[in-house]
Structure 1
Amino acid sequence: MQKTNSILDNLTFECKHEVRPPIDKEVHSLYDYALYHDLHNMWRGKKGDEVWQNMAVYYRIAAYNGDYKANLRLQWLLETKRVAVKKPQTEVYYLNKELEKTLPATAMYKLYYHLDSNYGVKTTPGGKFVYLRKAADMGSREAQLNLGQTLALIKDDATLKFRLDLREQLLKCATTQGQGEAAKWLGIYYESDKKYQEAIQAYHQGVKSGNQQSAFKLYQGFDKSKKHRLNAGIIQDLERSKRYEMIGDYLFDYDFLKPTVPDLDEIVPLPPAKLPPWDGKIAFQRWFEGPSPQKPSDELMQKLAEKAGLDWQTGLPLKK
């Protein structure tokens, strides 16, 4: 990529976190039920099959009652055609308008994301970075990662230090918001700069956010026989290394489910904390291998659908 004035001009960054509002428990029970069956369909499911078509109803009703997790998941299922509708672009457009009410920064990033596809969002040449910069400034962790990586690719020696410093700020902000890929790249940046403790903390956060490569880095780092650069900043601990390896293997094998490890500090806290007992499973794994959440009642579906002006059997707007 060549130097692009639209991305470098007047570019400063103040880290802002996007506030994720609480979701009503009744509403979220629709998402929990749908997600369980949605994810169990990911390996063998066919696009447009009965499972995804049925789960879309629960996601729709939850999304239009303020559940941003249901909204984002349904947008992805529509974008990938796992949920089949005649005009996916139209449904995604209205879902994203709804998302603006709860996660405006993420909704802005979704507009940027849709610029290169046929989803009704257009701009002038080079104008796409306006969406990206605005989303990052508003607090979108995905936009902060994307903007940081974009800055690194610009071919301009005169601005190199400025861009790398700014990229570090963007990656740090995204990392603290749970963006696993940002944490990995931040760790790599610190590792190359011999800031090993900072690298270890970044990778640890990356594992929490579901990044398999971060787990692999720490698995190597805590085992000095692997002869990794991180060895210089770590006291050998083979049990810690083994736990990161086991978690990393699970994240790799089940990447298609996008698991995260918010319970990481209960399994392998950073030194000097002692390692607690562990049964070898992460919380996501126990949930996925466990029984389905209770199916929401028809009465709850009807109540929430009516509140949002939807048909409770399809999740689509009532015809006027």
Structure 2
Amino acid sequence: MTCSFLSSNHLASQYAVVVLGLLLMGCKPIDKKDTIVTQKTEPDLAFTCVYEKDTLPPVDPEADIWFKQARELEKVNKYQRDYKQIGVLYRKAAERNHPKAMLNLSNLISYGKVPPIEGKGPAQEVWDIIQKMAKLDISYGYYQMGHYLDTGYGVPADRTKALTYFRQAADLGSPEGQYVIGDIFLAQRLSDKDNPAYQPEIGKKMLACAAQQGNKEAAFTAAMFYKSVEKNFDIALEFFQLASENGHRISASILIDTFKIDTTPKDYYYLAVKPDPERSARYEAIVKEMDASDETAKFPDIDKIMPLPPAELPEWDGTFEYKKQQDNQ
């Protein structure tokens, strides 16, 4: 899901003073009637990159079988999916604390694909599931709690409180949480004032951590910061490449023009690289592939297709690894 907190710069400015304390100090206990996990109480200005996969609790083997069975049922044509059985399998796995089963179940309930349990409304059960995830220190539980507090889904909207959950999610390895908070730290200027939470060194670390976990928006935001603010074109190029690898169309489109012969230092997409029409053409092929896949394609083989300069371009047969993986499933 996409957070609305940063969808408009003026939203952050409304909470600018609170942002500084909450984001830099991490999380504090919020409300006694909230059922909340242990949260930070001491100031912590540092950020250590943690990957989400390394913080997840052990998975029950039988629960994992149910989860995989549900995933197989979801792979059929969307008009033929048996959501009743999918819901049954996810519920069984979720009862044994399977992180991805809890996440997928909560999403299906919120989308109206799976009905809530008897006696509860959709928003109530979804909130119960993500609270359970947070109690288990599953980062996505914190992230979703932040998202629902931000948007007011099932609970009164409270963007200030939402920040504490986004920060906790970030510290537990959530790439989505790292992106949301990292983006705030890199915003030097809000719509009406300087941002008191401007902490670019922390922001860069958070975005890099999220990007390394496959968050394409974090990679793109980092690329733009290095390009436009720090004028570090080499690092910007690396992040544009990483964003393209994970299916970010704008990044790949920028790289098409970056390597064109007629690109000059005055151009928006200038990154001080040697012109290379063949590289440009290969990025164009990637953009076409993104369009053909409704922008769901990812390119784990991008560094084999077009490694960044000064590496020479290898021969390429025009195929993509992600399609080969799909064919083998």
Whole-angstrom distance in 2 between the partners of 1:78 and 1:205: 33
The one-letter amino acid of 1:20's match is: K
Question: What is the Cα deviation at residue 214 of structure 1?
Answer: 1.6
1:237 correspondence with 2:253: no
Structure of greater relative contact order (alpha carbons < 8 Å, 6+ residues apart): 1
Whole-angstrom distance in 2 between the partners of 1:101 and 1:278: 48
Question: What is the Cα deviation at residue 163 of structure 1?
Answer: 4.2
Q: Which of 215, 226, 229 lines up with 1:179 in the alignment?
A: 215
Question: What is the Cα deviation at residue 85 of structure 1?
Answer: 4.3
Q: Which residue of structure 1 aligns with residue 29 of structure 2?
A: none
Question: What is the Cα deviation at residue 104 of structure 1?
Answer: 2.1
CA contact (8 A) 2:47 2:202 kept: no
Question: What is the Cα deviation at residue 82 of structure 1?
Answer: 3.5
The one-letter amino acid of 1:215's match is: A
Whole-angstrom distance in 2 between the partners of 1:29 and 1:239: 46
Q: Which of 8, 11, 15 lines up with 2:48 in the alignment?
A: 15
The one-letter amino acid of 2:311's match is: A
Q: Which residue of structure 1 aligns with residue 288 of structure 2?
A: 249
Question: What is the Cα deviation at residue 265 of structure 1?
Answer: 2.4
- TM-score norm. by structure 1 comes to 0.71
The one-letter amino acid of 1:262's match is: P
- TM-score norm. by structure 2 comes to 0.70
Q: What 5-or-longer segments of structure 2 have no aligned partner?
A: 1-9, 25-44
The one-letter amino acid of 2:254's match is: K
Question: What is the Cα deviation at residue 219 of structure 1?
Answer: 1.9
Question: What is the Cα deviation at residue 230 of structure 1?
Answer: 4.5
> Normalized per residue, which structure has more helix?
1
Q: Percent identity?
A: 28
Question: What is the Cα deviation at residue 202 of structure 1?
Answer: 0.5
CA contact (8 A) 1:17 1:177 kept: no
The aligned runs of 1:118-137 (5 Å cut-off) are 119-121=153-155, 126-137=160-171
Q: Which residue of structure 1 aligns with residue 178 of structure 2?
A: 144
User: Which sits farther off after the overlay, 90-99 or 72-81?
Assistant: 90-99
SS of equivalent to 1:162: coil
Question: What is the Cα deviation at residue 15 of structure 1?
Answer: 3.1
Question: What is the Cα deviation at residue 231 of structure 1?
Answer: 4.1
Judging changes above 3 Å, is the alpha-carbon distance between structure 1 residues 199 and 135 closer, same or farther for their aligned structure 2 residues?
A: same
RMSD in angstroms over aligned alpha carbons? 3.6
SS of equivalent to 2:53: coil
Q: Which of 217, 226, 229 lines up with 2:254 in the alignment?
A: 217
Whole-angstrom distance in 2 between the partners of 1:178 and 1:50: 28
Whole-angstrom distance in 2 between the partners of 1:247 and 1:171: 24
Q: Which of 181, 203, 208 lines up with 1:167 in the alignment?
A: 203
Q: Which of 81, 97, 115 lines up with 2:112 in the alignment?
A: 81
